[in-house]
């Protein structure tokens, strides 16, 4: 073990990414269906507008069953890496052309004029590497979501930020970091944790 918090974070990230990749295909399908049910049942699930998912990679739990259940008036989008270090979101449906980004993750191959800004989204589902029961999250470490949604600090409401993960990605305690963008909820295959201030249980 090391005393360096960043090194601890890296070790935890490696361990959880490995655990995520080791989930069997049958459990993976089951989890994706359960996750779709949890996401669909969110109290603040939008009935219309742009919603952001992700293209599952590196063992991430799939959002395809959720995408299939979205109301027709919602526009499903995937993240696109902007040159300015901020995410953009591009509509994705069956048949949308894709091209891999610098991490090998497919992005919609659409003109910039079709891209939406973080603030345009009604709901964003973030791929988690780890989470704790207080709503702290561990991501891939690039800071993409933290930078892109920094405007959500102290500003409740849309775009709602919801982390998605397998149950096995829960960890006892993650240290809060000043730049971590607050999660409104975490959904897994079996639970929803609601972190909105009005829904927190009293101390």
Ligand X SMILES: Nc1ncnc2c1ncn2[C@@H]1O[C@H](COP(=O)(O)OP(=O)(O)OP(=O)(O)O)[C@@H](O)[C@H]1O
Ligand Y SMILES: Nc1nc2c(c(=O)[nH]1)N(C=O)[C@@H](CNc1ccc(C(=O)N[C@@H](CCC(=O)O)C(=O)O)cc1)CN2
Please give the structure tokens belonging to residue 157. Answer: 């409401």
Quick check: 147 binds ligand X (CB under 6 A)? yes
Task: Show the 3-state SS of 91-137.
Answer: ECCCCCCEEECCCCCEEECCCHHHCECHHHCCEEEEECCEECCCCCE
The nearer residue to ligand X, 85 or 100, going by C-beta atoms, is 85
Quick check: 54 binds ligand Y (CB under 6 A)? yes
DSSP class of residue 170 equals B
Segment lying near ligand X (by CB under 6 A), choices 61-69, 93-101, 117-125, 142-150: 142-150
Please indicate if the annotation marks 10 as binding a ligand: yes
Site for ligand Y in 87-106 (CB under 6 A): 103, 105
Pairing of strands 74-81, 87-91: antiparallel
Pairing of strands 185-187, 160-164: parallel
Round to whole Å and give the CA distance between 147 and 68.
Answer: 29
Quick check: 101 binds ligand X (CB under 6 A)? no
Quick check: 144 binds ligand X (CB under 6 A)? yes
Quick check: 76 binds ligand Y (CB under 6 A)? no
Please indicate if the annotation marks 143 as binding a ligand: yes
The nearer residue to ligand Y, 48 or 101, going by C-beta atoms, is 101
Q: Name the binder of 150 from ligand Y, ligand X, none, CB < 5-8 A by kind.
A: ligand X
Quick check: 58 binds ligand X (CB under 6 A)? no
Please indicate if the annotation marks 63 as binding a ligand: no
What's the min distance (Å) between Cβ of 138 and ligand X? Answer: 5
CA angle, residues 160, 166, 172, in degrees to nearest 5: 90
Quick check: 144 binds ligand Y (CB under 6 A)? yes
Please give the structure tokens belonging to residue 150. Answer: 């920094």
Please indicate if the annotation marks 136 as binding a ligand: no
CB 159 within 8 A of CB 50: no
CB 166 within 8 A of CB 189: yes
Quick check: 55 binds ligand Y (CB under 6 A)? yes
Binding-site ranges for ligand Y (CB under 6 A): 54-57, 60, 79, 103, 105, 127, 139-140, 142, 144-145
């Amino acid at each position: 073990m090391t005393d360096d918090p960043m090194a601890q974070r890296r070790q935890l990230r490696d361990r959880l990414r490995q655990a995520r990749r080791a989930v069997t295909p049958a459990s993976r399908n089951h989890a994706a269906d359960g996750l779709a049910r949890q996401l669909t049942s969110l109290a603040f699930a939008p009935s219309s507008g742009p919603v952001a998912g992700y293209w599952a990679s590196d063992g991430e739990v799939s959002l395809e069953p959720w995408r299939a259940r979205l109301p027709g008036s919602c526009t499903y989008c995937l993240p696109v890496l902007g040159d300015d270090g901020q995410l953009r979101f591009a509509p994705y449906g069956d048949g949308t052309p894709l091209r891999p980004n610098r991490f090998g993750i497919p992005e919609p191959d659409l003109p910039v004029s079709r891209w939406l800004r973080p603030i345009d989204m009604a709901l964003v589902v973030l791929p988690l590497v780890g989470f704790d029961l207080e709503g702290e999250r561990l991501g891939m470490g690039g800071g993409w979501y933290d930078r892109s949604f920094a405007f959500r600090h102290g500003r409740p409401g849309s775009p709602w930020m919801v982390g998605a993960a397998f149950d096995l990605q829960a960890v006892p305690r993650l240290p809060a970091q000043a730049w971590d963008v607050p999660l409104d909820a975490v959904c897994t295959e079996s639970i929803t944790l609601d972190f909105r201030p009005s829904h927190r249980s009293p101390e």
